[in-house]
C-alpha cells in the first residue's frame, strides 16, 4: 500500500501537517513510556520506601521509650529489693539468723541498761520466701520506764525488720511502778530461697 503524501514532490500543506502531527504524537508516547512512566513509578516506589522507613523509625522510637521506661522500672525494683534485703537477718540457716537476731537484741539491751535474764529461740515459721525467726527474752526488773520504752523503740526502729510480737510486763511492787520485769517475743525475717533449694536438691 502506498501513501500518496510519501511521494517525492507531491506533499501539500495538509499532508505535511498530518505527518508532523503523527511524529509528535509518536514522540510524546515514546517520551511518556521511556521517561515519564519510569520516573512516576520510581517516585511512587520512593514514596512507599519513605513511608516504610518512617513507620520503622516510629516503631524504633517507641521501642526506645518503652525500653527506657522498662529499665527505669527495673532499676526502681532492684533498689526496693536491695533495701528489703538490707532489712533481713543475715545468714542462710536458722542457726545463723537466730545468732544475728540474738546479737542485735543483746546490743540494744546493753545500750538501754536492760539486764536480760534468759534467751530462748522459738520454732521458726515460713512465710512465702521468708522465714520468721523469733526469740523470747526475759529481763530483770528495770529501774526506769524510760529505759524500757527506749529499748522497745530501738527494737521496732532498728535497721533490720524487727517486731515485738508478744509482750508480758509485771510490776513487782505497786508502790514502785517504775520497777518492771517481764518478757518479750522479738521476731525478724530472713530469706529462705537458697537454703530451701539446696535442701531439696540434697
Per-residue pLDDT of the chain (202 residues; tens, 9 = 90+): 444 544 555 556 676 666 777 777 777 777 766 766 666 776 677 777 778 878 888 887 777 778 777 788 888 888 888 888 888 998 888 999 999 999 999 999 999 999 999 999 999 998 888 899 999 999 998 878 889 999 999 999 999 999 999 999 887 776 766 678 899 999 999 987 544 444 444 4
How far is residue 33 from each of residues 20, 41, 194, measured CA to CA in Å? 20, 11, 76
**Domain containing residue 142:** 94-200
Q: Which of 86, 104, 123 represents a domain boundary (last residue)?
A: 86
Nearest-angstrom CA–CA distance, 116 and 181:
10
Q: At what angle do helices 145-156 and 94-111 cross, to 10 degrees?
A: 140
Cell numbers found for residue 25: 504524537
Q: Does 126 reside within a domain? A: yes
CB atoms under 10 Å from CB of 97, counted, come to: 25
144 and 66 in a common domain: no
Amino acid at each position: 500500500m502506498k501513501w500518496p503524501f510519501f511521494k517525492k514532490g507531491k506533499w501539500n500543506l495538509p499532508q505535511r501537517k498530518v505527518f508532523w502531527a503523527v511524529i509528535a504524537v509518536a514522540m510524546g508516547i515514546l517520551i511518556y513510556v521511556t521517561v515519564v512512566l519510569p520516573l512516576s513509578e520510581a517516585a511512587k516506589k520512593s514514596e512507599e520506601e519513605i513511608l516504610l522507613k518512617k513507620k520503622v523509625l516510629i516503631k524504633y522510637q517507641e521501642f526506645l521509650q518503652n525500653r527506657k521506661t522498662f529499665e527505669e522500672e527495673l532499676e526502681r525494683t532492684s533498689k526496693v529489693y536491695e533495701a528489703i534485703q538490707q532489712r533481713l537477718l543475715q545468714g542462710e540457716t536458722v542457726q545463723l539468723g537466730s545468732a544475728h537476731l540474738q546479737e542485735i537484741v543483746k546490743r540494744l539491751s546493753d545500750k538501754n541498761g536492760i539486764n536480760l535474764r534468759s534467751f530462748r529461740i522459738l520454732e521458726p515459721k515460713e512465710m512465702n520466701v521468708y522465714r520468721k525467726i523469733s526469740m523470747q527474752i526475759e529481763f530483770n526488773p528495770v529501774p526506769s520506764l524510760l529505759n524500757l520504752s527506749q529499748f522497745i523503740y530501738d527494737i521496732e526502729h532498728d535497721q533490720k525488720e524487727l517486731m515485738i510480737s508478744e509482750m508480758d510486763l509485771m510490776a513487782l511492787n505497786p508502790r514502785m511502778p517504775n520497777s518492771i520485769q517481764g518478757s518479750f517475743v522479738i521476731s525478724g525475717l530472713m530469706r529462705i530461697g537458697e537454703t530451701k533449694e539446696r535442701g531439696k536438691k540434697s
